[in-house]
Amino acid sequence: MTITNHFPRGFLWGTATASHQVEGNNTNNNWYAWEQAGHTRDKSGLACDWWGGRWKEDMERAAETGQNTHRFSIEWSRVQPTPDRWDESAIEKYRSMARGMVERGLTPLVTLHHFSDPLWLYEQCGWETEAVLPCFEKYARKMAEALKEYVSTWVTINEPNVYALNGYVAADFPTCPQGHKGMAVALRVLANMLRGHAAAYRALHEIQPEAHVGYALHYRPMVAARPWFPLDALMRKIQYDGINMAFPSAISSGVMKSPLGKVNIPEAKGLQDFVGLNYYSVDTVKFDWSARKELFGRRYYPADSDFSTNKFIANIPCGLFDSVRWAAETYPDTPIVITENGVEDADDKLRPRYLAQHLQQLWRAVNFNYPVKGYYHWSLVDNFEWERGWSQRFGLWGLDVETQARIRRPSVDLYAEICRENGISDEMVEKYCPEVREKMFPGRNVAP
Radius of gyration of the chain (CA): 21
Question: Which of 158/361 has CB closer to ligand GAL?
Answer: 158
**Among positions 13, 240, 376, 378, the unique one binding ligand GAL when judged by CB under 6 A:** 378
From the list 112, 162, 119, 109, the residue with the least C-alpha distance to 26 is 119
Question: Which of 20/236 has CB closer to ligand GAL?
Answer: 20
Confirm or reject binding of residue 393 to ligand GAL (CB under 6 A): no
Residues 213-232, interacting with ligand GAL (CB under 6 A)? 218
Question: Which of 212/218 has CB closer to ligand GAL?
Answer: 218
**Minimum separation from the CB atom of position 392 to ligand GAL (A):** 6
Question: Which of 49/159 has CB closer to ligand GAL?
Answer: 159
Contacts 24+ apart (CB under 8 A), 91-97: 91/142, 91/143, 91/146, 93/51, 94/143, 94/146, 94/147, 95/146, 95/147, 95/149, 95/150, 97/55, 97/72
Question: Which of 122/378 has CB closer to ligand GAL?
Answer: 378
**Among positions 7, 12, 14, 18, the unique one binding ligand GAL when judged by CB under 6 A:** 18
**Among positions 386, 415, 432, 441, the unique one binding ligand GAL when judged by CB under 6 A:** 386
**Among positions 394, 397, 432, 441, the unique one binding ligand GAL when judged by CB under 6 A:** 394
**Among positions 158, 249, 308, 425, the unique one binding ligand GAL when judged by CB under 6 A:** 158
Size of the site for ligand GAL (CB under 6 A): 12
Question: Do the beta carbons of residue 44 and residue 35 sit within 8 Å?
Answer: yes
* CA distances in angstroms from 74 to 149, 259, 326, 395, listed in the order given: 16, 33, 29, 20
How many Cβ atoms sit within 10 Å of the Cβ of residue 443? 7
Using the contact rule CB under 6 A, the part of the chain among 46-54, 135-143, 154-162, 303-311 near ligand GAL is 154-162
Question: Which of 232/340 has CB closer to ligand GAL?
Answer: 340
**Among positions 58, 159, 232, 283, the unique one binding ligand GAL when judged by CB under 6 A:** 159
Helices 88-103, 55-64: inter-axial angle, 10-degree rounding? 20
**Minimum separation from the CB atom of position 100 to ligand GAL (A):** 22
**Among positions 283, 385, 387, 417, the unique one binding ligand GAL when judged by CB under 6 A:** 385
Question: Which of 93/114 has CB closer to ligand GAL?
Answer: 114
**Minimum separation from the CB atom of position 130 to ligand GAL (A):** 25
**Minimum separation from the CB atom of position 335 to ligand GAL (A):** 20
Confirm or reject binding of residue 20 to ligand GAL (CB under 6 A): no
Question: Which of 166/175 has CB closer to ligand GAL?
Answer: 166
**Minimum separation from the CB atom of position 439 to ligand GAL (A):** 25
Confirm or reject binding of residue 34 to ligand GAL (CB under 6 A): no
Using the contact rule CB under 6 A, the part of the chain among 31-39, 80-88, 155-163, 286-294 near ligand GAL is 155-163
CA dihedral 409, 412, 417, 419 (to 10 degrees): 160
242 Cα distance to chain centroid: 18
Residues 318-347, interacting with ligand GAL (CB under 6 A)? 340
Tell me the one-letter amino acid at 446: V
Q: How far apart are CA 244 and CA 282, in angstroms?
A: 12
**Minimum separation from the CB atom of position 379 to ligand GAL (A):** 7
Question: Which of 94/115 has CB closer to ligand GAL?
Answer: 115
Question: Which of 388/444 has CB closer to ligand GAL?
Answer: 388
Confirm or reject binding of residue 162 to ligand GAL (CB under 6 A): yes
Question: Which of 162/164 has CB closer to ligand GAL?
Answer: 162
Q: Please, what's the largest Cα pairwise distance for the chain?
A: 72
**Which residues contact ligand GAL (rule: CB under 6 A)?**
18, 21, 158-159, 162, 218, 278, 340, 378, 385-386, 394
